[in-house]
Structure formats: C-alpha cells, structure tokens
Amino acid sequence: MKNIILGFSFFFSIISFAQVSTNKAHDAIVEEFLTNCAEKYNYVFQMAEWQDCLDNGLKKDSTVAYLWQQKAMPYFKCKKYEVGMQYLDKAVFYNKERWLPYRAFIKCIFAHTYKEAIKDFEECIKLYGNSYVMDHTYSFYIGLCYLQLNEYDKAEKLFDDYVNDIYKNRQQLEHPTAYFYQGIARYELKKWDEAITIFDKAIKIYPEFSDAKYYKAICWLKQGKPKEEVVALVGIAREDAAKGFSLNEDNTIYETYPYQKKFSK
C-alpha cells in the first residue's frame, strides 16, 4: 500500500511539474508574440500586423489558448463575429475553464446568438458554478438571453434571483444594471407598477440613468399618466443620454446592450 501511495505521489508530481513547465513555456510565447510584438500595433488600423504576430506565436505552439483569444477579440470589436468565433472556439478547446465563460458572454452581448449563449452559460454553471464574467453572474446573462428570446417569465425569475443573491448572499453594493433588467422583465410582463418601483431603485442609485427613466416613462404612458408628464420624463432621459449617461457597462462602447435606448439626434 505504501508503495502504491508513493507511486501516485510520484505520478502527480510529474503532472504538476509538466503543468508548471507548460505554463512557463506559454507565458514566454505570450510575452514574445503578444506583449513584445502584437501590442506594438493598433489592431484598429494595423490588424494584419497584429494577426501576423499572433500567427507566428501559434506556429511555435498552437495550444496557447490566450493567443487564440487575442486573435478573436479585435474581430468582435469590429463586428466580424463569425471570423472571430472560429478563433475563440480554439481558445475554449485549449482552455475551457478560462474561455468558455468569455465565449458565452461574446455570444450574448456581441454575436447575439442567444440560444448558443444559453448552452455555453449552462455548461459553465454545471462545471464551475454560477460564477462571474464581465461583472455579472452567468445566470444574469441567461436572463438577458431570455429577454431577447421573448421568454419573459424565465427572465423575470432569473433577475429576481440575481438581485436577491447579490444584495443578500454576496453582500455587494446595489447595482443599477441589476435593477434595470429586473424592471425590464416586469415591463415586458405588463406589471407596470412593479416595473416603476424597480426602475426607481435603479434611478436612486444612478440619478442620470437615461434608460431607466425612458422605460419608466413608457410605463407611465401605459398606466394612462398625463401625456405632458410622460413627455417631460422622456425629455429628461434624452438630455441625460446626450451627456453620456446610459447603461454603465464597459462593453457598451462596442455594442448596444439589450433594451439600451439610443435616442435619435
């Protein structure tokens, strides 16, 4: 028995050593071909140079998942989703734990392939628990997908759970985006009073929140509120939006989020 235990110990030591060696080798390739090559260029107008650096790194070792993700990333930002996805799939293949949540996020917010995003997020939850990507839980993004698929009851349940989780269990600061989408689910289910109450919570945290004010105004309209009051609130929302106050998510500079209101000039 002692010999068996020693054998297992030796076996796992070899695995651990191999993983450390691989990580160091990958880090060196990333430094050489990303940090010291690709990042010297601006992929907005030097995409070919950026991609050439990464391709040279992948010729050296095609299993470096981070290089595949870095090949994909600029294509998503310029809305070439199918081009980018083929590279991101490679990143997921070589490092699922790191890049599957990111791919699910990209499918939800960038590529708008909501059913595919749900599959990825559900796999993430099964494998890693309901963790976070880009500041929100996997279930939050599933809720966004259900909103976009008109499955409002499912979205409502997920956003209610999300709000309860982050404010009670995780003891985080209140998040206006969480309230906004919880309110949107109520709005789509024609629960005008409840939606207004929730939008007001978002506005209390983020007083210039133009999107919340706009949908609150629509709820007022549905309730039969005087037209001039509705128009006045939409006007305030428009002014706030013109000053740049909208959904406060990092990637809104690249993509319009679900239900984000873009006012015409």
What are the pLDDT digits (tens) for 75-123?
999 999 999 999 999 999 999 999 999 999 999 999 999 999 999 999 9
What average pLDDT does the structure give for the chain?
A: 91
Orientation of helix 138-148 relative to helix 176-188, angle to 10°: 30
CA separation for the pair 254, 20 (Å, rounded): 36
pLDDT of 18 strictly over 50 = no
pLDDT at 172: 59
- pLDDT digit string, tens, across residues 206-257: 999 999 999 999 999 999 999 999 999 999 999 999 999 999 999 999 999 9
pLDDT of 130 strictly over 50 = yes
pLDDT of 189 strictly over 90 = yes
Q: Supply the pTM of this predicted model.
A: 0.89
pLDDT level of residue 264 (50, 70, 90 thresholds): confident
pLDDT of 203 strictly over 70 = yes
pLDDT of 6 strictly over 90 = no
CA separation for the pair 26, 211 (Å, rounded): 44
Q: Where are the domains of the chain?
A: 14-94
CATH 1.25.40 fits 14-94, yes or no: yes
Tell me the percentage of the chain whose pLDDT exceeds 90.
85
pLDDT at 104: 98
